[in-house]
Structure 1
Amino acid sequence: MASTAAYTITSSDFEPAGFILPDLFSDCRYPLRVNPHSHHISRASEQWLFTELHVVEPEVAKFRALRIHDLIASCYPDADASHLRILSDFLNWIFTVDDYLDDRDVDDARGMRECCISALRDPINFQTENPAGKICKSIFSRFIETAGPGCTERFIHALDLFFIAATKEVDSRAKGHIHDLESYTALKRDLTGCKSCFALIEYAARIDLPDEVVSHPVIMAMEDAANDYVAWSNDICSYNKEQSRNDAYANLIAVLMRERGLDLQGAVDYSGQLCKSAIQRFEDNRATLPSWGEEVDRQVAIHIQGMQDLMVGLLHWSFDSARYFGKDGQTVKRDRFIKLLPKRPL
């Protein structure tokens, strides 16, 4: 990775003109692996979603520019083709849900939660004309064909936590509520969607971890560390886009500027240190893993590998996708300099 260049990041009105990203790749050194089935599966999955949601150009091109298929391929590199298709359908869908909720009110968010969780709880008998509910029902009816009971319950619970957190965020935005670091971290652990993705690691590998493993303090600490890394590294990458929309209040960098009295670069640097500490927590807890016997230990190793894949996959995708940096992702990845976008008028 290129060394930090000597940029001038001040402007005439004493507001920063930009900031330098932390060297995130130096701390997250896990190998990036790619699923060999990705290309043909991703196209079929995207087309299915476009048909179900009646998506047409130019929105089709915008969605494809996000390259969500690259994220899925690197987060689940060992999934077979049939499981990768369901993973792709779900993750493509959850991205559209997440973006949809950005512009909705609390009642919309609650309605989305009620519809989708009802579809998961009773995918056979639940009936709805809501496109989101129909998609959720379709995905889950295929998911449960091979998912274990523990994995299934964890997936439903995690998705419910996501919708609850999303509703809280919508409400907080409307009321102008300001988070401190502790409450923000707790919210983001549900809002990232990582908890659902952790359950999908089991699904992709056709394993079903025992409850005593999933609830063990070391496993829970590793999941929290991986979740924090995903949340915080994503906040660093998304900050410029969010501040330009006057929507960065729920971002780690903005939280740190308010709570710690830091300037922008100081908050970015602090965020990078938190990312580094999350990786260290992950590895420190890995070193204290107990044994549950040969077969369960094999499954635990798969789960931990999956968490690694999520962390490094999301990091690389943040620069490869157009979601945060447009067409400049590779330049930003190399130089680590972000020029602040102008704020949109309120």
Structure 2
Amino acid sequence: MDGIRNPHIPRPGNGEWVGGEIARQFWENAIRRVSPIVQTRFINEFQAYLNAVVDEATDRESRYIRNIEDYFKIRRNTIGAKPSFAICEMYMNIPEEVMRHPVIKKLRELAIDMIIIGNDLCSYNVEQARGDDTHNLVTIVMHELKLDIQGAINWIGELNDDLATEFLKEYYNLPTFKGFEHDILAYCKGLGNWVRANDSWSFESERYFGRAGRYIQTSRRVPLLPKRKALNLPLRK
């Protein structure tokens, strides 16, 4: 965060983790094109993301399983969508009072929740295999509602359908924001595109399903991996 807040000051050497300098260079390049109001929004959202990741790490270390409501509260930050949305509006100059409008806030939250669902459904298999699935909606639902894996996935699928229906309802009833109509429409379309793109990326990359992603996307069937077995695919989240 210090690198992002001071992007024109190169990070000191002295064995500091290279991530600080990477973040600084990224933001130094980005602010050449990003409007001042979006810069502020990104910095605030990225700080909230990092704070939440620390809380997630604490949960994982203690194997603490949250309830569904509390999980969504922290996951809306750990998923990293909010700072990413800020990057999506880098060429825009939407004022904060417009972004705080109830409809815009609702659309943003609905998109984030659908991204959470898509990510957690796809990442669950590799996470349960390595015993690291306590911060995953499938495990959360199984634990709170006393369901098996398939029952939890069915419940989550119905929740996602409800969220998608609500998103489209809110989208088609967007109020008029005089002077910002074009930017707001583009931003809200971007929220929907983010949900769809995250779904496509999850199957087209090899992060969760190895080279079987395209097949699984069509078959909708995922063979459950054995626990704690070395896997020939990426296991990071």
SS at match of 1:270: helix
Which whole-Å deviations, capped at 9, do the CAs of 1:125-180 have from their partners, x for residues lacking one? 36333310111111111111121111101111111111111100111111222110
Counterpart residue number, 1:233: 118
Counterpart residue number, 2:207: 323
Counterpart residue number, 1:109: none
Counterpart residue number, 2:189: 305
The 2-side partners of 1:299 and 1:137 are apart by 28
After TM superposition, the structure 1 = structure 2 runs for residues 103-122 of structure 1, keeping only pairs within 5 Å, are 117-122=1-6
Does the CA-based 8 Å contact 1:233-1:272 persist in structure 2?
A: no
SS at match of 2:212: helix
> Which has the larger displacement, 277-286 or 137-146?
277-286
| Alpha-carbon distance, 1:212 to partner | 1.2
| Alpha-carbon distance, 1:308 to partner | 1.6
Out of 60, 63, 78, the position equivalent to 1:176 is 63
> Which has the larger displacement, 269-278 or 218-227?
269-278
After TM superposition, the structure 1 = structure 2 runs for residues 76-95 of structure 1, keeping only pairs within 5 Å, are none
Amino acid at match of 2:207: R
Out of 117, 129, 132, the position equivalent to 1:247 is 132
Amino acid at match of 1:142: N
Counterpart residue number, 2:27: 140
Does the CA-based 8 Å contact 1:118-1:126 persist in structure 2?
A: no
| Alpha-carbon distance, 1:197 to partner | 1.1
SS at match of 1:167: helix
SS at match of 2:120: helix
Q: Percent identity between the aligned chains?
A: 31
SS at match of 1:322: coil
Structure 2: segments with no counterpart, 5+ residues: 230-237
| Alpha-carbon distance, 1:278 to partner | 1.8
SS at match of 2:8: coil
Root-mean-square deviation (Å): 1.2
| Alpha-carbon distance, 1:208 to partner | 1.4
| Alpha-carbon distance, 1:281 to partner | 2.1
Out of 34, 37, 40, the position equivalent to 1:153 is 40
User: TM-score, structure 1 length as denominator?
Assistant: 0.64
Larger relative contact order, structure 1 or 2 (CA cutoff 8 Å, min sep 6): 1
User: Are 1:188 and 2:80 an aligned pair?
Assistant: no
Amino acid at match of 2:145: R
Counterpart residue number, 1:211: 96
User: Are 1:223 and 2:108 an aligned pair?
Assistant: yes
User: TM-score, structure 2 length as denominator?
Assistant: 0.92
Out of 217, 224, 234, the position equivalent to 1:340 is 224
Out of 50, 54, 58, the position equivalent to 1:167 is 54
| Alpha-carbon distance, 1:124 to partner | 1.8
The 1-side partners of 2:19 and 2:9 are apart by 16
Which whole-Å deviations, capped at 9, do the CAs of 1:92-131 have from their partners, x for residues lacking one? xxxxxxxxxxxxxxxxxxxxxxxxx111111123633331
User: Are 1:270 and 2:155 an aligned pair?
Assistant: yes
Does the CA-based 8 Å contact 2:59-2:135 persist in structure 1?
A: no
The 1-side partners of 2:166 and 2:50 are apart by 27
Structure 1: segments with no counterpart, 5+ residues: 1-116
The 1-side partners of 2:134 and 2:175 are apart by 40
Which 4+ residue blocks in structure 1 deviate beyond 2 angstroms?
125-130
Q: Count the aligned residue pairs.
A: 226
The 1-side partners of 2:63 and 2:208 are apart by 24
